[in-house]
Structure 1
Amino acid sequence: MKTLLQSTEADPAADHHSSNYPGSPAEARKPFAMDTDYLIGLICLALSFGLFIVSTKTSNTSGPLSETSFLFCYMIAIFYTLRMSTRGETWLSFWKAKNKTYQPHRLLLWLIWLVSCFSFNIPMPIFNESAPWLSVAIVVSAGVCILFNWEESLPRVFKKILFLFFGISAVLWTYYAVYLSWIYPASIFGLIILGFSIHSFIPLFLCITHFRILFQRWEMYKAPILAGILLPMLFAAGYVVQWRLISKKIQTITNSVATQDRDDFPAWVQIGQKIDDNWITRQVIANYLAYQMPRKDPSFVPETLNLGSSVRHDPLVLIAALFAKKTDLSQSERVKLLEVLYDARHYTQERLWSGDNLRTENVVTQIRIYPDFRTAYTEKTLSIGNHSRSRWRQEEALYTFYLPEGSVVSSLSLWINGREEKGYLTTQTKADSAYKTIVGVESRDPSVIHWQEGNAVKVRVFPCTSSERRKFKIGITSPLQLNGNRLTYENIYFKGPASDGASEGIRLDFAKNVSGLKIPFEMEESGANQMTLNRTYIPSWDLSFDAIPLSDKGFIFNSKTYQIKPFREISEPFSARKIYLDINNAWTKTEFDSVFNMVKDRAVFVYDNGMIQLSTENKNAIFDRLSSWNYSLFPVHAVRRDNNALLITKETSISPNVKDLQQSPFGDALRKDSLTTPLKTFNIGNELSPYFKTLHELRIVRCEKADIRQVGEMLTRNQFPADQERDASHHLVRIDNAKMTISESTDSLPTGAPDHIARLYAYNHMMQQIGTKYLSKEYLKDSAATSGLLKEAEQANIVTPISSLIVLETAQDYQRFDIQKSKNSLDNATLKNSGAVPEPHEWALIIIFALLVSYYTFRNYVRL
């Protein structure tokens, strides 16, 4: 062994580990050879890593494995340490030269200890869950360490790549060693008592071993080693610079808002409009809401604020936060920006109880499609599992369901003590009060569903315990989308407790035969016009089929007849003297130039903290500024009084909701706009922002989809599509995506239409009546002002801005909160309802007929 040490120390830069295996005769190293010690080490690493993976998957569940996996990983690390300690040169002090034969073994030993570190971090967190890129980097670093054992067998080009990644790996472990340095003093003391604190030094050992190997190979692989060290450092430096620039821009916009003459919008709205939308911006905004940040006072527990998902440890974010000044953004402003820019509304909603341990275990989707009424009814039954260690831990399930345009929730059920209990419709205020009282104070069984902007609803279910799965059902009535000569059904998807790996059963039922059916998966026929499928849950999909003529049958209820008809494309005279362009980054320069050239002979305006008239001289500069905005919020209330005004817009997919603007001067002005005539608007894009969707639903704007050519033709002819909702002799609503209308009248028609058309009518009619009053808290809560609308919602049993569905545990609970079952209503929708509900005089005829049949049937038996 002494001879071996002398030979290795004589040439520390030699490009080899050794020509000898430990315990074997001197011989040339064989390609991809592996000694017994290294093989045992690989087995220990694989076993330890497997236990760690299982423990992360079951960290919130009961069971001995999740609670003791750290001890197993710890014992495996001790075992391999003791084994390699008997090999002498492996365990010499760090400042002395070591036999290079054992360099791969030492790296493997530290990897085994590293797995034990991360296992120990589960019961005692020093740092949070790693960011995805960091997890990949750690796994790649481990792979590089393992591959180092076969360095001699690799071609030279692969050796260069190996040491490039070795340099990157060295920087990674240097970061961890520095990050953990603040607990080294306590760890040294802990070594004497328990020995577990050895884990805090493992990144330091890996760092030292990496740099020792890099120094030994420096002469032969100088370029790749230097590149590997510099690349992550330069990337981190560039990231810090970008972080500082974004933080500075946020502060600049904030200061600019404070010095503006007008303050129509809150500062966060203008920041969201003008900030660069990229992944670094998202991290700057999220900050401590989603990432582990530096602490002023050292602590063994990381300081974090959870944003609906696990807070992550990202070295780039943490380093940048050390070198950048903090912005003046408050927590509420950060939340608003995340909601708007990154669709985080589901995760920022108020919670009464945690839902960290919940999972969506099973989804049953039942769909009934009425092709001749361009309508579908979908029931989603979800089963929720609680994977908490505690058998009695109660948690709250929070779901957001995203509905196709124009859809409305028409049923809710919750299983209580194994029995399905159907929801009662009441005001949103009563439902919210009852739910919060029972869940927040009494901790008993309720479920509630509320309407939200942007074609969404939120569902709360409580309590969810580990003793049994919790089950609820939601029913949605939807119009089918007509594209050309085909009808499309969109599946309803949701956000909520994790659904990856959940099972799903689908049943599809057509009320009429259809042709040209296209489904993105194979289904089994289970009957006439029925198909079924069982699979792993997939959230987003749609199906389409050839459209058939609309039925002329109606649905009769409470002496009212509801009927659908095709939408008629008719125009009315309209002279657009003032044109308003709603510019944002959805517009292209070509589109802007085309529209401007088309309307330049009229007065053309854009909005930028005030109306600005466009001219040939200023249009390009103004477009360059406005087209960089992530979204626009055109003040429709400022131009609705002008009967000759026309708005042309192209919307982005993001924007604040109308409710987000409620407390701003902009929201106040919109609420005070009492005009009932909607602003005529052309949408030259394919979608509407959440802001414009709500304005369109509330009939504050009348948004007609058209391309630039069609807009030009309408302007040339001085025409605009007629408002059939206002011009009809009967009460009538438009269902734009289905290209049909639904009318309410007293006409006598053949019956046979589903009750869903009455529900769709009621929803659209209510939104039409609410209008700008939607922004008034007093209006939505005032039972006297909304009694007529609430009656309409109760009759149709639908969830709207003023009505919610709730399920409570007992009849006494309903009585206590003055929630009564709706009388003379359509009640909760079901898959069985398919036609008209009998009128009172029809019920009388049915009863008389039944009595006559009974009399003639049983009179002979009476005589006998």
Structure 2
Amino acid sequence: MKILKAILSEDRVIKIGLVLILASAALFGITETSLFELNDGGAFGVFFINYLFSVTYFFVVVFKRPKRLAYWVMLFMLWFISAFALNRSMNVFDISVPWLCVVICLSCVALIMALFMEQLTAAGKHVVVFLLGAAFLLFVYYSLYLTSMYIIGLIAAIAIGISLHVFAPVALAIVTFIVIKRNVAGSRSLKMALAAGVFVPVLVCALFIGQWHSINKQVNLAVNHNTLAEGKLPSWVVISQNIPKNSIAERIIKANLVYKTVNLQENWLWNTDFHKASFDEPLKHDPLVVLASLFCGQTNLEEHERIKILEAMYDARHKAQDRLWSGDKLKTASVVTNVKIFPEYRLAYTEKNLFIKSSETRTWWPGEEAIYTFHLPEGSVVSSLSLWIDGREAKSRLTTKAKADSAYKTVVGVERHDPSVIHWQEGNTVSVRIFPVTTTEARKFRIGVTSPLRQQGTQLVYESIYFDGPPATGADETLQVAFSKKPPLFSLPGFEELSEGVFTADRKYQADDEIVFAAPPLANMPFTFAGAGYKLENYKPQYAAFDPAAVYLDLNSSWNITEFDSLWQAIKTKKVYYYDGELKEVTEENKAEVFARAQKLNFSLFPVNEVKDAEKALIITKCADIAPNLGDLDESEFQRRLTAYLATAKPVRMFNIGTKITPYLKALKEMRVFVYDNGELPALLDKLNQHRFIQSQEDAGHVVLDQSGFIISQTTDTLKSNAPDHLLRLFAYNDVMKKVGPHYFDKTYVQPDIIREAEQAYIASPVSSLIVLETQADYERFGIDENKDSLKNASMKSSGAVPEPGEWLLVLIALAVINFLVYRAKYAKQDI
């Protein structure tokens, strides 16, 4: 250490170089963190400072005699850092993946440490030489990667030499080779360390390329076989079911969508074959993907098929949404969450107010489009939307999905002024679009969601609403939770109780929240509107004698062998079927092979339309975490057969081993295709032994929310009460889903009576969307009328009974009479 200090104090050029490298690296690293949001001008400004460091040291080295190798190493290191700073403004590499960032940093540290090799211990020397071997490969890789830019770099060097940054990796590769040669000469052990440093990265690349080739072949063969077999499912579904769910498979599917790839046949040299697809994820540079695509090629899948696979396997639906304008410069600046919980009605209403900011610097730019996907608790429905225009709240109108979509695309895509729209989506999600978000001010909108509380034994659970969209990293959140009746012995840690049953907290935004409290007795007062009442009843499952004649197993990788064997003992005397492109029977002889094949499936899509004699059948499923949505199967043979079945389907009993349910089955469950029950395996075995299974308790006047433990009944009761209007909203949503089910794919469910029901309850659904337009004239030209005889946008104050349409006139007359009498008395006194 003393020798190192002596060298630093003796050689000022090395000392200056180290100081400038530390300063340049610190500046680059700090501005890479989330604390700084660099626009194009700011990014170039940071680069110019990094560039100034390298130019300054260049002149220090030029005028220093004699010149040492260490000087050139430090100069090229500064040049390398400056090149990555320039990359922010003049994109060449795209975003480096995390492992590459680590390797770059280690390579630079190792090269600097090698300048002081004599001061290191024996172990330290071996570690540095090992890292130098990997660093040399890295710099050679970058040198080859930039080959096609060398001629341009030389020609453009006239302009203050910025383009010469393309030669920084070549320079580092040369000096690294010289440093290695000087340090390992005469040392067998250091040469072995060097060989290991070269061999390990090459081995990693070889293994990655081998796996890439294997999975890529599997994907291409799956497409071929599905085509030959004229499969009922689209090829992308079959691929999603069968390929391994790992990082290499994900990179194969994302190649040329998110990850940079190469195609040497497209140009005379190393041309990058890349275009930005309709997938909202930052472009990434991964050398393993580049090399694998070079040696093994890419899949035969079309872009839209790969996006479908990503949606199904990697929960990427939000990223795949179509955009009219970019939104990559947006962030969610703050969140205000207001929750009203009605424990006695087992429901809650949540309002989320979001503030969106843009870091875009182009003042002439019309603005960016913010797209959010909100994930709702099961059974929830959106019941309000507001957008702030010129500082004032503009509430939404409800119309058909087609009208809302047409109006939004016209206003945003052509006219470019203020709208916002909410569309229902499968899987308990909704999409929200806001335009424009400009550079001048934060944009504010509010979404309101009516949710049933989840019953958990003797307790109720409120589940929060979270979103995908402009990142909310570091966003401040103010959260208020109010109870209509505060549960006994209840407290919220980290919250301040402002008044009885009202709690608040200021914190950083958190996506997941649960509030658990004791379940009180169910309120029995109805909410009344338009001559009908909506009343809660406790849901007590009713059972009927049922001994299935046939059992259909929905098998996939989520099953384990113990469950399968235990269940087989209870059903082996019956006809048992599984699905493998077609229904096949499970027997004692083939059950092991059947289970082994099913274990390879990431998920399953059981064709309920192929069940024979539904009234005597039982489907047993266990759901994986991933699966396509029902709507993803549109225009497939699978969908066409399912469409024909749904039109006349009789509910079939289904038992789900567990609580998870795939989006595909969840949609069919909401459409009441199943008489659904779930629980652990022992509960199922008990029902099989007793020959008793759950029966439906729904009809035109009743909807069951089993996860919340209640039934909403539609009655003729018109008794006024303080019951929340959310009872009607939940009833209507479930009733609409029942009516939509038989015609989900052919879209004939868009019927006036279903639209009227959704409009009366004012809910987003498959037939209805919420939209905010800027002016009354906008609403008129798109034929979006003001919603009459409806609940309109929900609010924190809309918890009591609402006057029926015919009663509004009586209310106004009563107010007028009271007003007349008050003023008459006032003037009479004045006359006296």
TM-score, normalised to structure 2, is 0.94
* SS in structure 2 at match of 1:738: coil
- Partner residue, 1:85: 62
The Cα offsets for residues 603-662 of structure 1, whole Å up to 9 and x where unpaired, read as: 000010111111110000011001210110100011164310000000112111111111
Equivalent residues of 2:43, 2:89 under 8 A apart: no
Q: Which residue in the other structure is 2:591 paired with? A: 619
Residue 211 of structure 1: how far off its partner (Å): 2.1
Q: Which residue of structure 2 lines up, in the alignment, with residue 738 of structure 1?
A: 708
Matched residue type, 2:350: T
Query: Taking structure 1 as reference, are residues 847 and 689 closer, same or farther at Cα in structure 2, changes over 3 Å only?
Result: same
Alignment of 1:477-626 (within 5 A): 477-515=450-488, 517=490, 519=492, 522-626=494-598
Correspondence 1:377 to 2:349: yes
Separation in 1, partners of 2:650, 2:528: 30
Structure 2 alignment gaps of length 5 or more: none
Residue 344 of structure 1 corresponds to 316
The residue type equivalent to 2:183 in the other structure is R
Q: Which one of 297, 304, 313 corresponds to residue 275 of structure 2?
A: 304
In structure 1, how many angstroms separate the alpha carbons of the residues matched to 2:494 and 2:662?
A: 34
Q: Which amino acid aligns with 2:758?
A: A
- Please report how far the alpha carbon of residue 215 of structure 1 lies from its aligned counterpart in structure 2 after TM superposition: 2.0
CA distance in 2 between partners of 1:840 and 1:731 (Å): 22
**Aligned residue for 1:404?**
377
Contact 2:732 2:758 in 1 (8 A): yes
- Aligned pair in 2 of structure 1 residues 571, 389: CA closer, same or farther (>3 Å)? same
- Measure the CA separation in 2 of the matches of 1:229 and 1:809: 63
Partner of 1:328: 300
Whether the 8 Å CA contact 2:43–2:85 is kept in 1: the answer is no
| Residue identity opposite 2:738 in structure 1 | Q
Question: In the alignment, does 2:460 pair up with 1:448?
Answer: no
Contact 2:31/2:38 (<8 A) preserved: no
The letter of the residue matching 2:503 is M
| 1:242/1:735 CA distance change after superposition, 3 Å | same
- For residues 757 and 210 of structure 1, what CA distance do their matches in structure 2 show? 72
Give runs of aligned pairs for residues 52-63 of structure 1, distance below 5 A: 52-53=28-29
**1:361-411 Cα shifts (integer Å, max 9, x gaps):** 111111111111111111111111121111231211111111111100000
1:227 and 2:196 matched: yes
Give the aligned CA root-mean-square deviation in angstroms. Answer: 2.3
Structure 1 residues 510 and 245: CA distance shift in structure 2, 3 A: same
SS of the residue 1:139 aligns to: helix
Shift of 1:843: 5.0
Q: Could you tell me how far 1:352 is from its partner in structure 2?
A: 0.9
Structure 2 CA distance for aligned equivalents of residues 255 and 630 of structure 1: 20
Q: Which amino acid aligns with 1:764?
A: N
Cα distance in 2 for partners of 1:194, 1:859 equals 88
Distance 1:301 1:119 in 2: 21
Query: SS in structure 1 opposite 2:299?
Result: coil
User: Is the Cα–Cα contact under 8 Å of residues 670 and 772 in structure 1 kept in the other structure?
Assistant: no
Structure 2 counterpart SS, 1:462: strand
Q: 1:349 to 1:29 in 2, by over 3 A?
A: closer
Instruction: Verify: 1:294 aligned to 2:262, yes or no.
Output: yes
Is residue 239 of structure 2 the alignment partner of residue 271 of structure 1? yes
Partner SS state of residue 694, structure 1:
helix
Q: 1:66 to 1:179 in 2, by over 3 A?
A: closer
Encode CA deviations 1:427-447: one digit per residue, 9 max, x unaligned. 001100111111111111111
AA aligned opposite 2:262:
P
Range that drifts further, 158-167 or 422-431: 158-167
The one-letter code matched in structure 2 to 1:201 is: F
Deviation at 1:149, TM superposition (A): 4.8
Instruction: Return the letter of the residue paired with 1:166.
Output: L
Contact preservation (8 Å) 1:399, 1:496: yes
In 2, Cα distance between the equivalents of 1:818 and 1:30?
A: 80
Q: Greater CA deviation, 146-155 or 503-512? A: 146-155
What do residues 740-759 of structure 1 show as CA deviations (whole Å, max 9, x unaligned)?
11111113556221111110
- 2: CA distance, partners of 1:302 / 1:55: 30
Check whether the contact 1:125–1:301 (CA below 8 A) recurs between aligned residues: no
Q: Determine helix, strand or coil for the equivalent of 1:337.
A: helix
Q: Give how far 1:142 is off.
A: 2.3
Does residue 635 (structure 1) correspond to residue 635 (structure 2)? The answer is: no
What's the counterpart of residue 639 of structure 2? 667
Q: Does 2:107 match 1:130? A: no
Distance, in Å, in 2 between the alignment partners of 1:302 and 1:119 is 24
The alignment status of 1:160 with 2:126, answered yes or no, reads: yes
Given the alignment of the two structures, is residue 654 of structure 1 paired with residue 626 of structure 2, yes or no?
yes
**Worse-matched range after superposition: 825-834 or 31-40:** 31-40
Alignment-mate amino acid for residue 791 of structure 2: L
Change (3 A) 1:62 1:653: closer
- Relative distance call for 1:515 and 1:114 in structure 2 (3 A) is farther
Q: 1:163 Cα deviation (Å)? A: 2.2
What secondary structure does 1:221 align onto?
Answer: helix
Q: Structure 1: 5+ residue runs without aligned partners?
A: 1-18, 20-26, 91-98
Equivalent residue letter for 2:125: K
Q: Distance in 2 between matches of 1:518 and 1:639?
A: 50
Q: Which residue of 1 aligns with 2:725?
A: 755
**2:682 aligned with 1:712:** no
Indicate yes or no: 2:110 matched with 1:144. yes
Aligned-residue offset at 1:224: 2.0
CA contact (8 A) 2:255 2:298 kept: no
Q: Percent identity?
A: 39
Distance in 2 between residues matched to 1:704 and 1:579, nearest whole Å: 15
Q: CA deviation at 1:153?
A: 4.0
8 Å contact kept, 1:374–1:738: yes
CA distance in 2, matches of 1:80, 1:439: 51
Post-superposition offset of 1:847: 5.4
Deviations 1:432-486 (A, max 9, x none): 0111111111111111100000000001111111111111110000111111122
659-668 vs 521-530, greater mean Cα deviation? 521-530
For residues 106-151 of structure 1, what are the alpha-carbon distances to aligned partners after superposition, in whole Å with 9 as ceiling and x for unaligned? 3332221111111222232222121122122212222323444554
How far apart, in 2, do the equivalents of 1:279 and 1:303 lie? 20
Contact 1:392 1:466 in 2 (8 A): no
**Cα displacement (A) at 1:857:** 4.7
SS of the residue aligned with 1:471? Answer: strand
For 2:704, what is the secondary structure of its paired residue? strand
- Inter-partner Cα distance in structure 1 for 2:720 and 2:152: 84
**SS of match in other structure, 1:563:** strand
The number of residue pairs the alignment matches comes to 818
